[in-house]
Amino acid sequence: MEVIGAELGFNGRLRRGRCIGHTINLAAKALLFGHHPDAFEKQLTGAVALTDADYQQWRSTGPVGKLHNLVVDVRNVHRLSYRFRRLQQDEIDRAAIPTDRARRPLRLVSDNETRWLSQLYMIRRALLLKIPLKMLLVVAREDWDHENRSKRTGRVPSAKLIKLPRYLREENHLLDNDWEVLRHLESILTIFETVVKTLEGDGKVRDRQGWSGSYGNVWDVVLGFELLLSKLEEFKLLAEGLPDPEHFRIGVNLAWEKLDIYYQRLDETPIYYTALALHPAYRWDWFNEIWQLKPEWIEKAKALVHEVWVADYAHLDIRAISRESARSDDEPPAKRPRFFNPFEATDRAAKLPLVRT
């Protein structure tokens, strides 16, 4: 950007935009995999069975790793896949409501090279199928014991227990605490997903279902960071109450740290604060309220916006521009709402139609 700026006559450093999607990807990977997320990327495929070493490495990442291993086994062991579908179908057939009986069995979703979103979809589907998944392991263990039980003693010999399938071994089981962590991870990643989808777009206002507005607005970047950081703060406190919070707590802290690093770097590009300060629904009131405990942040943001004004707008003939853009009907501008959350559908439907820029 600096090279382009030098060619075209502007300061490239001040006009560098950062990809919020990339930043969220880094934070989500830190949340899921801790200090060494890259070590798992090459293995994100459900197409082949895992080696014992890979299996153990995934298990070391906590509930997400255990679930990954289980999903890979269920999808790759045909007997498990068939039994899993059968258990779901039996539950559907017993349903009392016609719409429930019209459902079809679902497959587990495996994570893949699309990275953190695929982990979210894997967790989300597993939570939906939690009951038949737990039943599957119970039935699979009963089948294995029956097939390997000694006819003479009625017990499974120790020599055969050594060959117990990995998905049936106790250390690989998803316990109630693990499912609780997965539920919270799904909640966090859903917020990440919402922010990513809201910030995808060209910023143009269009009529949509029930509201009129835009996606991909530059001022929403700051709001997105604030939302994610504040939610992670809440989950930090929640982690303290979990029975076995280690992986979850570390992941939340690492995700927060990664987001905070890139949040601080917004200072390098004035457009983010300028867009928010000039937005009629936010202006400087937003900074004064949200950053009230960080007065130095507010002063720096004001200095950045002032520099933009002096460098690019102070020399313009405001009166001439005002005459060209004067309203023909002399009606007062529409009343703007004070603050709204662009990442909540209810706020968009109720308030965004008033905020046309």
Q: Kindly report the CA angle at 30 between 25 and 34, in degrees rounded to 5?
A: 155
Phi, psi (rounded to 5 degrees) for 213: 180, -160
pLDDT at position 305, please? 94
Find out whether 195 and 224 touch, Cβ atoms under 8 Å.
Answer: yes
Q: What pLDDT sits at residue 316?
A: 82
Give the DSSP H/E element, type plus range, for residue 208. Answer: strand 206-208
Closest CA to 182 of 72, 62, 71: 62
Cα–Cα distance between 87 and 133 in angstroms, integer? 9
Statement: the pTM of the whole predicted model exceeds 0.75: yes
Q: Which residues of 305-319 are buried (b: 16+ CB within 10 A; e: fewer)?
A: beebeeeeeeeeeee
DSSP 206: E
Contact 183, 190 (CB under 8 A): no
Q: Is 198 helix (H, G, I), strand (E, B) or coil?
A: helix
Q: For the residues of 125-165, what is the DSSP string, one character each?
A: HHHHTHHHHHHHHHHHHHHHHHHH--TTTSS--HHHHTT--
Q: Which residues of the chain have pLDDT under 50?
A: 39-40, 42, 45-47, 55, 328, 333, 346, 348-357
Cα–Cα separations (whole angstroms), residue 198 to 25, 213, 220, 336: 15, 11, 8, 21
pLDDT value of residue 301 = 95
**DSSP symbols for 229-279:** HHHHHHHHHHHTTSSS-HHHHHHHHHHHHHHHHHHHGGGG-THHHHHHHHS
Domain boundaries, the chain: 21-183, 199-354
> Residue 96 has what DSSP assignment?
S
How many angstroms separate the CA atoms of 23 and 261, rounded? 10
Strands annotated E in 25-161: none
Contacts of 334 (CB under 8 A, 6+ apart): 354, 356
